[in-house]
Amino acid sequence: EVQLVQSGAEVKKPGESLKISCKGSVYSFTGYWIGWVRQMPGKGLEWMGIIYPGDSDTRYSPSFQGQVTISADKSISTAYLQWSSLKASDTAMYYCARLPPGINLVQGIDSWGQGTLVTVSS
Amino acid sequence: DIQMTQSPSSLSASVGDRVTITCQASQDISNYLNWYQQKPGKAPKLLIYDASSLETGVPSRFSGSGSGTDFTFTISSLQTEDIATYYCQQYDNLPLTFGGGTKVEIK
């Protein structure tokens, strides 16, 4: 069974930096896209962006372009989501997810990580 | 961006009832649509892919239909374990976009 294991919950102050991770296993990490999805408290799902670990091709949602950085280290089958300066409004659950490649670049999400809760508060 | 309009935003039904959720895309997305279930405090789970294909291991009471701009998700006989929020998502074009979600409760 495909596994996406995310790093643990984080509590940070505004202005601090943060990098959370998502480790894939039991499948070919370089053969699938990894995406990140935000869920703010009590709200719906928002797609942030995707990366193809095989060649590091990265695409961002316009809403998140410039706000976060998505990266991957294929040698350890791990993808990352990074902030350089957190805001209180970044408080949310963040999910990584696997997306098979498709005719239109990707197919829909077929597996999800367990989520990483990020709390930003002074 | 393709907008996904999901309705209703919430519903209450009895055990055994047939439940239907709709999702409308702002432009033709062919059959590039998935449906997910999210139980409280849990990660979402894929139920239906390519608009109408049932993911392996998902009970057959769940089904999906539609193509183009109009899609339907159905639970043929609601069970207590189906209490969750359901989301549609299109993958015809980037950015990928989700519907606003439908919260399903037991009456």
Is the CB of A63 less than 8 angstroms away from the CB of B95? Answer: yes
Is the CB of A108 less than 8 angstroms away from the CB of B101? Answer: no
Q: Smallest Cα–Cα separation from A69: which of A54, A49, A52? A: A49
Alpha carbon B57 to chain centroid, angstroms? 17
Which residues of chain B have a CB within 8 Å of the CB of A104? 32, 91-93
Q: CA separation (Å) from B52 to A104, B67, B73, B100?
A: 18, 9, 9, 20
**Rg of chain A over all Cα atoms, to the nearest angstrom:** 14
Beta-bridge mates of residue B50: none
The span from the CA of A30 to the CA of A1, in Å, is 17
The span from the CA of B34 to the CA of A11, in Å, is 33
Is the CB of A61 less than 8 angstroms away from the CB of B95? Answer: yes
Range A88-109 average pLDDT: 93
DSSP state of B96: P
Q: Smallest Cα–Cα separation from A1: which of A105, A111, A95? A: A111
Q: Which of residues 43-102 of B touch A (CB under 8 A)?
A: 43-46, 49, 55, 87, 89, 91-101
Nearest CA in chain B to A35: B96
Tell me: the pLDDT tens digits for B22-72?
999 999 999 999 999 999 999 999 999 999 999 999 999 999 999 999 999
Question: Which amino acid is it at B30?
Answer: S
Range A42-64 average pLDDT: 96
**Rg of chain B over all Cα atoms, to the nearest angstrom:** 13
pLDDT of residue A89: 97
Is the CB of B87 less than 8 angstroms away from the CB of A44? Answer: yes
The span from the CA of B102 to the CA of B6, in Å, is 7
Chain mean pLDDT for chain A:
96
Whose structure tokens read 């069970």?
A: B79
What six digits make up the tokens of B8?
A: 């209703």
Is the CB of A47 less than 8 angstroms away from the CB of B43? Answer: no
Which residues of chain A have a CB within 8 Å of the CB of B87? 44-45
